[in-house]
Every structure is written in C-alpha cells, then in structure tokens.
Amino acid sequence: MKPRQPIIITILIVLGLISGAFFMFTQSSEFFSSAIFWVTLVLGGVVVFINNSLNKLIDIKKYNMLTEEEKEEYKRLLKIPYFQRLKQSAVEKQGDKDEKDMIIDHGFDGILELDNALPKWWLGLFYFGVAYCIIYLTSYAFTEFAHPYAEYDKEVAQANIEIEEYWKNAPKITIDNAEYNPDNIAEGKQLFETTCVSCHKEGGAGGIGPNLTDDYWINIKEKGLFKNVFYMVYNGSENNPAMRAFGKDGEIPGRDIEKIAAYVYYINQDIPNIAGGAAPQGEKATWNDAR
Ligand code: HEC
C-alpha cells in the first residue's frame, strides 16, 4: 500500500485543467470574471473533496488489513516528503523484493518476464495527453480556437483596418502632385480593365468612349497628356455624362487615377494608334512636354 497524493496537489491539477479548458474555449482570460467559471471551479473542488473522503475510508480499511511489517513500511513512506516520493516512484527502479512479486508465471529457459508497472511520469504524460486531446479537439471543432480560417479572417480584417488607416494619413494624390511613373502602368492596366474597358474597349481602342491611342482629343484641359487624362478621370466630361467624374464623385481615389493615367499615357505614347481602333474624334493635340 502506498500513500496517496496530497489533496492540495489534486486541487492544483483540477484548477489548471479547468482554467486551461476555459482559455481554449473562450480565447481570452476574461473567463476569470464569469460566473460559469467559478461555479465549475467550486463543483470541481466539491468532487475532489468527496473523492478524498472516499479514499480516506478505503485507506483505513486497507491499512487494517496490512501485516505489521507492511504497516511499518507504510508509515516509513508517509514520512518521506511528497515530491521526493514522487521522484523516487517516477525515476527510480524498484528493488529486488518488489520484482519477486511481479514475475509472470510463464518463464522459459531461466528467462523470466516481469509485470512491471508503467513509469508514473509516462502514465502522467499519457493522461495529460488524453485530456489535452479531448479539450483541444472539442474546442477546435466547436469554437474558433486555433481555427486557421477564423485566424486568417481576423488577420485580414486587422490588415485592412491598418491599410485604411495608412491611406487616411498618406498624402492625397491630386492633379497637382500626380506624376507619371512607368512602374504604375501594370496596375493602371488592371484598373483600366475593371472600370474603363466597358466604354473605351480593350487597350483604349474606343467604343462608346473615344479612342485613347490616337492624337485626336475632344477634351484638351491640360498642357500635358498625363495631366489631361488625370483631369478627365477626376472631373469627367462636360459634354457627355457617360464619362463621369470618377475622382470628384469619390469612385476612384487619386492614387488609382495616377496609375490609370500612367497606363493611358503609355498606350497613347508607346503603342499609339491601336489596330482596328475607333475613328479619331476632336482635334489633333500637341502636348507640350507630353506629360
Ligand atoms: C460609361 C462609359 C465610359 C466609361 C466607363 C469611361 N469613359 Fe472615358 N469617356 C467616355 C465618353 C463618352 C467620352 C467622351 C466625352 C466627351 O465627348 O467629352 C470619354 C472621354 C474620356 C477621355 C477624354 C478623351 C477625349 O478625347 O477627350 C479620357 C481620357 C477618358 N474618357 C478616360 C477614361 C478612363 C481612364 C476611364 C476609366 C476610369 C473611363 N474613361 C471610363 C465614356 C466612358
């Protein structure tokens, strides 16, 4: 017969398991202020105490059935502090005397098999693993704990907030500070394809809206081509409401107009007069610095 683990240790383990489970399910330490947590804790404590009292009764019965020698051994073990006893039983080998009790009765050729108890540390780890598994799997399946999709959504939402914040504080791009930058052409092309292609056709060939690849322009509002495109996309056309004021109406921010204008500048200057483009409209423009 061996002395049992002190009740305070059991209480600490139960406290740890309950807190761990609550943390996994709720994903924050706010559960400390919730009534459910404290009720669970009290119930857990009551169960531990009931278990402890039952164990005591069992131990008394068992103790009375021991021989004098075994009683002495039990008393000796009781005197060893708990953690020292734990270490002994966890890592130290059993003595020869213990081994005699463990022999399984099917030895052969003088080789005997012992029915060794599994090491305590191993068993402890195993039970912890089982408990952890159950808590983890249930919280994974039924809550948002450690869920890659939920975590991804959360991070994307946070990143979007940060991007919005960044653009709120970033300097606004207007017709005055917009600049042509060839690095913007690729992104400008994508934006053009989502917003402008319906009227100006693929590559700016012209349809409802005029051909953007020729030298003829209905609206000449700025001296440079790049700024003229920026102006048109920002303010729209006075003659035709189909060409709406994308910038002024807040539909496209200045930083995107800068990119779109870079693309239109590129198709007009670097690959002019697209094959099969719409007939020229307006007058021949001569841009001063072409930007
Ligand atoms: C709903 C159709 C429509 C859409 C969408 C549209 N446009 Fe236009 N756009 C027009 C029309 C029509 C004109 C001619 C306006 C006029 O007669 O003054 C025009 C004119 C222009 C002009 C001036 C051309 C000139 O010869 O004066 C530019 C530059 C231009 N659009 C660029 C764009 C860009 C860039 C986009 C996308 C952000 C866009 N447009 C979206 C219909 C459209």
Domain spans, the chain:
7-104+116-142, 182-284
CB atoms within 10 A of CB 237: 16
Can you give the pLDDT at residue 112?
82
Give the relative orientation of helices 120-142 and 7-26 as an angle to the nearest 10 degrees.
Answer: 30
CA-CA distance, 222 to 219, in Å (whole number)?
9
Structure tokens given for 121: 């540390």
User: What is the structure's pLDDT at 96?
Assistant: 63
Write the residue with the smallest CA distance to atom 43 of ligand 1. 243
What number does the ligand 1 atom closest to the CA of 208 have?
12
| 175 CA → ligand 1 middle, Å | 17
pLDDT, one tens digit for every residue, the chain (291 residues):
888 889 999 999 999 989 988 888 887 888 888 899 999 999 999 999 999 999 999 999 999 999 999 999 899 888 989 888 888 777 766 666 677 777 887 878 888 888 877 877 888 899 999 998 998 888 888 887 778 888 899 999 999 999 999 988 888 999 999 999 999 999 999 999 999 999 999 999 999 999 999 999 999 999 999 999 999 999 999 999 999 999 999 999 999 999 999 999 999 999 889 999 999 999 999 987 656
Q: Per CATH, is 182-284 categorized as 1.20.140.10?
A: no
In the prediction, which pLDDT does 94 show? 63
One-letter amino acid for residue 21 of the chain: A
Residue owning the nearest CA to atom 38 of ligand 1: 196
If 0-12 CB within 10 Å is exposed, 13-18 middle and 19+ buried, where does residue 83 land? exposed
Q: Which of 189, 199, 264 to probe ligand 1 with, by most ligand atoms within 8 A of CB?
A: 199
Contact partners, residue 5, CB within 8 Å, separation at least 6? 82, 86
The residue whose CA has the least distance to atom 40 of ligand 1 is: 196
3-state secondary structure 219-262: CCCCCCHHHHHHHHHHHCCCCCCCCCCCCCCCCCCHHHHHHHHH
**Residue 220 CA to ligand 1 centre (angstroms):** 13
Q: Measured from the CA of 196, which atom of ligand 1 is nearest?
A: 37
Separation of 22 CA from ligand 1 center, angstroms? 60
Cβ neighbourhood burial of 227 (10 Å; 0-12, 13-18, 19+): buried
Q: Hunting for tokens 């305070």 — which residue is that?
A: 8
- Please say whether the beta carbons of 199 and 208 come within 8 A: yes
Dist. CA 117 → ligand 1 center (Å):
85
As a whole number of angstroms, the distance between CA 77 and CA 71 comes to 10
Ligand 1 site residues (CB inside 6 A) read 192, 195-196, 198-200, 208-210, 212, 217-219, 229, 232-233, 237, 239-240, 242-243, 246, 260, 264, 281-282
CA nearest ligand 1 atom 22, residue:
232
